[in-house]
Chain A
């Protein structure tokens, strides 16, 4: 009993530390984002709490010696890139995992080949790609060379998620559809896909968030039109102002809202199943 109690304290302490390290940086950043502007610096104490830096990020602040963050276009690029990466990686990941459902010659080799994409250090891969591009005379762009590396990086994640999903998938449901005279293509669309959809959502979320804040690969291969992480890094070189913190808070909120959307989609697809199962949907309609 005594042992149990001490174990509980240790676990409580561990959890507290975990939470502190997880949210600590964000909380500090959040507090500092309300620093007085434009004179207030990126450190404690808060001189006079204000929304100045938020206005600054969004372009509503009066002109001052602090230049506005060069993020408008970078943000659009990052989002476009993340979205495209998500689509391509999820489709590729799902198809590859589908292929792995039946053993084929060299499947082990192909598995490691795919997974290598997330194991290789990003800096080296980025550098290598930059060298290849230079030697072949390919222009380095965020939508070209960087996009390819984003897919190479996120595709294994989508693949592994879908592999786990297919591992638990009961093949006899597909066989039942074939046996009813439904061809494989239609079976995939009408039976397999709806059943693996929650997994597809997770794979999409992985690919999107990994691509959105990808740094080392993009740094070397993104070219002159930078994505957001690179743009922010660029501002470090000059001087750090609390406008970065304000921006950090905003993007974190954006990430949370993505998670919320994911959660809603998930619960909708689950609840839809349950509602229709109990015949309530007919009443709602």
Chain B
């Protein structure tokens, strides 16, 4: 028996036309883990989910669920359940019949089926609409029905394909929380596909960032946010400030790049790396402080970049400030008010952006 609920080994999908949808996908998911797949549309996240579900054939590589190879086993024989973006409720069946449907093919007594269905209807608070059809259900009810219909079959893994995409923002937030609580309670592995990075970060125990059919990074949300491993992740996740330059040196724990604004230091996301390589310093917005030029710093050893304020809009606790650097690039910061130090800062002021170098990640440019 494997320790992993789900294991993907060199998963690859090539469409008949020759388009490569997914390549080199390796992943190991522990039992009860909530894993998010995130990336721009067309990055292969949904294709990967559908390969796990068996709805898309696997061109090469292997898929293991609890240690058993399921690469070529048809959908209906896989211990997974899938929640679709449009919910795919059976429109000609009542809520109860929808939930019963997956149990009918299993060798269960009718009493057992009734017990399980009743329990699921109770759990998801669908009692009022149990004998209704899809037409009268609200978005949230459809969402819960789709979830209940899958969960009642007691899958090893629940696959969710952008299940919150059709909901409005408020409902989305509350269902995110419900989903997370439900997943902890059940202890089932969830694979959750979304294109919204905030959703992926807040839901996942770990997040898989995909781009153009490849995995860019697999990390816990905080690490993904603070320590991106590639330029793509640095730009896609979080609100990072990015300054390009050339690598000067890197010893594995610290690195330095030369930029137009002077040397910047940080933690390298790579090992090795030759001097002169194109690289970038990535600083999460919330670690940046703004000072009037020449103001005394509270601590030593900060990295500094100078510029001129072009817009400043303090709104309560949050402040928006735009600073144009000397090469003309504009840095837009949405940050806490107390991160903007010194009085009299207004458009036209000369300021310095300062941050602690250990907050910076140095990422090599792929090019």
Contact = CB atoms under 8 A, between A and B. Distances in A.
Contacts of A175: 53, 55, 75, 82, 84, 88
Interface in A168-194: 170, 172-173, 175-184, 186, 190-191, 194
A277 B90 contact: no
B94 A173 contact: no
Interface of B: 53-55, 74-77, 80-82, 84, 86, 88-92, 94, 101-102, 104-106, 131-133, 135-136, 146, 149-150, 153, 159
A170 to B, nearest CB: 7
A181 B105 contact: yes
Contacts of A282: 131
B274 to A, nearest CB: 49
Contacts of B149: 176, 180
10 tightest CB-CB pairs across the interface, nearest first? Answer: A180-B102, A277-B133, A176-B88, A179-B82, A178-B75, A172-B88, A279-B131, A194-B92, A173-B88, A172-B84
Contacts of B91: 173, 195, 273
Given A177-B90, A178-B55, A181-B153, 4 more contacts: A173-B89, A181-B106, A273-B91, A276-B133
A6 interface: no
23 contacts: A170-B88, A172-B84, A172-B86, A172-B88, A175-B75, A176-B84, A176-B88, A176-B149, A178-B54, A178-B74, A178-B76, A179-B81, A180-B76, A180-B150, A181-B105, A183-B105, A184-B76, A186-B105, A190-B101, A273-B133, A276-B131, A277-B135, A282-B131
A135 interface: no
A183 B106 CA distance: 11
A278 interface: yes
A276 B132 CA distance: 7
Interface in A258-276: 273-274, 276
Nearest to A179: B82
A279 B96 CA distance: 12
Interface in A150-179: 170, 172-173, 175-179
A169 B80 CA distance: 24
A181 B88 contact: no
A201 B54 CA distance: 33
Nearest to A275: B133
A101 B150 CA distance: 26
Report whether over half of chain A's contact residues are helix, strand or loop; otherwise say mixed. helix
Interface residues on A, range: 20 to 34
B75 A279 contact: no
Given A175-B84, A282-B131, A180 B101 contact: yes
B92 A179 contact: no
Contacts of B80: 179
Contacts of A182: 76, 101-102, 104-105
Contacts of B135: 274, 277
Contacts of A273: 91-92, 133
Contacts of B54: 178-179
Contacts of B81: 179-180
Contact of A277 (B53, B102, B104, B136): B136
Contacts of A190: 101
B75 to A, nearest CB: 4
Contacts of B159: 179
A277 B132 CA distance: 4
Contacts of B106: 181
Nearest to B80: A179
Contacts of B104: 182
A182 B76 CA distance: 6
Contact of B90 (A173, A278, A279): A173
Contacts of A279: 131-132
A173 B94 CA distance: 14
B231 to A, nearest CB: 35
A87 to B, nearest CB: 23
B53 A179 contact: yes
B129 to A, nearest CB: 9
Contacts of A194: 92
Nearest to B134: A277
A50 B77 CA distance: 72
Nearest to A175: B55
A133 to B, nearest CB: 43
Contacts of B89: 173
Nearest to A272: B92
A172 B161 CA distance: 11
A173 B142 CA distance: 13
